[in-house]
Structure formats: structure tokens, C-alpha cells
Amino acid sequence: MLEKIEQLLKEIEDLKASNAEELEALRIKYLSKKGAINALMADFRNVAADKKKEVGMKLNELKNRTQERIAALKEAFEAQDNGAAELDLTRTAYPVDLGTRHPLSIVKNEIIDIFSRMGFTIADGPEVEDDWHVFSSMNFAEDHPARDMQDTFFIESHPDIILRTHTSSVQSRVMEVSQPPIRVICPGRVYRNEAISYRAHCFFHQVEGLYVDKNVSFTDLKQVLLQFAKEMFGEDTKIRLRPSYFPFTEPSAEMDISCDICGGEGCPFCKYTGWVEILGCGMVDPAVLEANGIDSKVYSGYAFGMGVERIANLKYKVKDLRMFSENDTRFLTEFEAAN
């Protein structure tokens, strides 16, 4: 695969386009869902474990270089067009404000980038799901409270069709069509039937991760999460894991990070504990592996999940969750420097 990547890198350096149509053809060839780079991303799961880090870094370099090259060609076309364009007399005399990336997009992309460098690939799935992928395949009992109308949005005409309550459904879809090694992250929007307030919303965003292979241990999980915490919140960040319960993992834990405001000394933000909770995790329950067609006697795995809004709150100290979805441009312009 490294040879293919190097070959594509050489091709990218020599890209040329004489018009916008040719440029779009190049974008589709290399960057579309069926393009050359996405095909390599799909083959990444077949790379040997000891090569994943090196290959993953090369893949990211290839993708970034391709995006930069195509953007540079586009910029050159636009510069030519602007030079020849006629004056637009209908344009406002006032300066036009440029848009910015949404803070949730900034944080989500940073999370994805960190785990991509550790060899995880992105997996996606539908937001309108069936009961099997959301609950049954994830070891939820028939009488589990999460199935109740108070937590889940059901499609009235199809009682087995729901709005997904977590992106674990994507993990199920990956496992049922793939054999280990599996190393994916699943970013996406999820829905829960909750009252909207400053600390809760009926929709929010998650990034979940899954790693399944032979001899995967809880130590592997802890090391990955420690590396993530240090890259996201700073090198001095400490973590602790507290026992918890989730239907799809056993043992399960919730992870806290040391409060970056008080340095662990205790303050109102961390409720004077010195710690702030950021995610849930654990070893994949053997019942989940078996339900999704993976032999639990041969393979083991870990999973983790975090709310993007939660991470954004910790990074930017946003006190009201509703601000992320109200499209107030005054709020959004505060994140211009983070783009």
C-alpha cells in the first residue's frame, strides 16, 4: 500500500487543469467517495498491525496534499476569473463577512484527526435505523429503559424503525460485514427524546470508537484514551477510569480528566473534585461480538464513546448547550481564530 500512496503523491504533484470542468474531474478521481484515496482508506483495515501507524500517517499526508493541490488550482482559476469579471453594480457597498466553521465541527474534526493518527478509520451509517442495529445487536435487553418512549424517537408507522440514540449502530454494521482486525471511529448525530435545556438537547453529536483483534486488552484501551486526552487537552492532562455499566461492554468504565482550569486542585467548574468526566468505555461484551458474527473465543475488543458537545464545552467553556444549535452569528464569530 505504501507504494500505491507514493505513486499517488507523485501524481498529485503533477496535477494540471485548464478549466473548472477538468478540475472537478480531478477532484472526483481522487477525493470522491469512489475515488482513489477513499479506496485506499477502505483497504487500510487489511494493513498489518505493525504497519498501521506508518501507513495511516502516509494516507493522511496524501489526502491533505491532494486537497491542498486542488485548492491551489481552484484559487488560480478564481484569480483569473476575478481579473476579467465585470463590476457587479448590485453588490452591497458594505464588507461581506466571511463565515466560520461551527465549533462542533472544529472539535469533531480534531477528535477524528487524533484517532486517525492512531490508525482508526472513519465509519458512517444511517441516522434512521432499525431496532436490531441500535439495541438488540448491542446486548440491550427487551425491557431496557433506553427502549422506552421517553428516551427514543420511534417512527409511528414502523415501530421497529427509530432515530438512532447512539452511533454504536454503526459499529454493529461494520462488524456484521467485516472480520477483525477492525479499528474504526463513528462520528455522527444522534437523537433522544429529552426536554431541551441549557444542559440537554433532543439531538447531539457523538464520536464512538471500536477496536477488535486478537489479544486486545483493557491496557490497550487505557493507553489509547490517555494519548487522546493529552493531545486534546494538553500534555499535562491526567486520566482516571471509574467502574460503570453499559450493556455492550464488560467491564465498563467512565473516564475523567484532570480539570485544566484548577490543575486538579478543585474549583466550581469541576465541583471541587479536580476531575471532569468526558467519556464512557470498556471491553466489548462477548455477546455483542457473537451477535455480530465475530468469534468471541478468538477475538476481543474495546469500545469508547464521547459527546462532541461535552468536549466542546470543556475546551471553550460554553455554559449553555442550546447555543450550539441556535445559529447566533455573534456566538459563532467567537471561534474564528480556531478555524
Q: What is the 3-state secondary structure (H, E, C) of 130-151?
A: EHHHHCHHHCCCCCCHHHCCCC
Please indicate, yes or no, whether residues 165 and 215 belong to a single structural domain of this protein.
yes
Chain centre distance of CA 36: 22
Please indicate, yes or no, whether residues 20 and 115 belong to a single structural domain of this protein.
no
d(C-alpha 57, C-alpha 277), whole Å = 30
Per-residue model confidence (pLDDT) at position 108: 95
The domain of 170 spans 103-338
SS3 content of the chain, % helix, strand, coil (to 5): 45, 20, 35
pLDDT tens-place values along the chain, 339 residues long: 788 888 888 888 888 887 778 888 888 888 888 888 888 877 877 878 788 788 788 888 888 888 888 888 888 776 665 555 566 778 777 777 777 788 899 999 999 999 999 999 999 999 999 989 999 999 888 877 766 655 888 887 787 899 999 999 999 999 999 999 999 999 999 998 888 887 778 889 999 999 999 999 999 999 999 999 999 999 989 999 999 999 999 999 999 999 877 777 887 777 888 898 999 999 999 999 999 999 999 999 999 999 999 898 888 888 788 888 887 878 888 877 665
Question: H or E stretch including 159?
Answer: strand 158-163
**Residue 76 near residue 20, CB atoms below 8 Å:** no
Question: H or E stretch including 310?
Answer: helix 308-316
Please indicate, yes or no, whether residues 60 and 126 belong to a single structural domain of this protein.
no
d(C-alpha 283, C-alpha 224), whole Å = 13
Closest CA to 168 of 194, 212, 137: 137
Examine residue 89 and state whether it is found in any structural domain, yes or no. Answer: no
**Residue 36 near residue 30, CB atoms below 8 Å:** yes
Please indicate, yes or no, whether residues 25 and 79 belong to a single structural domain of this protein.
yes
Please indicate, yes or no, whether residues 203 and 334 belong to a single structural domain of this protein.
yes
- Final residue in a domain of this structure, among 84, 111, 136: 84
Examine residue 203 and state whether it is found in any structural domain, yes or no. Answer: yes
Examine residue 50 and state whether it is found in any structural domain, yes or no. Answer: yes
Examine residue 90 and state whether it is found in any structural domain, yes or no. Answer: no
In which residue are the cell numbers 479536580 written?
A: 274
d(C-alpha 134, C-alpha 103), whole Å = 27
Per-residue model confidence (pLDDT) at position 9: 85
Radius of gyration for the chain, computed over Cα atoms and rounded to the nearest angstrom: 23
Domain count, the chain: 2
- Final residue in a domain of this structure, among 52, 84, 116: 84
Please indicate, yes or no, whether residues 145 and 273 belong to a single structural domain of this protein.
yes
Closest CA to 135 of 89, 104, 166: 166
Phi-psi region of 317 (alpha: psi -120 to 50; beta: other; left: phi over 0): left
**Residue 125 near residue 169, CB atoms below 8 Å:** yes
Examine residue 199 and state whether it is found in any structural domain, yes or no. Answer: yes
Please indicate, yes or no, whether residues 73 and 119 belong to a single structural domain of this protein.
no
Please indicate, yes or no, whether residues 78 and 110 belong to a single structural domain of this protein.
no
Q: In what order do the strands lie in the sheet with 128-130?
A: 128-130, 158-163, 154-155
Please indicate, yes or no, whether residues 267 and 309 belong to a single structural domain of this protein.
yes
Please indicate, yes or no, whether residues 233 and 302 belong to a single structural domain of this protein.
yes
Question: First vs last Cα of the chain: how many Å apart?
Answer: 32
Please indicate, yes or no, whether residues 50 and 199 belong to a single structural domain of this protein.
no
Domain CATH for 143: 3.30.930.10
Per-residue model confidence (pLDDT) at position 52: 78
Examine residue 98 and state whether it is found in any structural domain, yes or no. Answer: no
Per-residue model confidence (pLDDT) at position 81: 57
Please indicate, yes or no, whether residues 70 and 162 belong to a single structural domain of this protein.
no
d(C-alpha 85, C-alpha 180), whole Å = 55
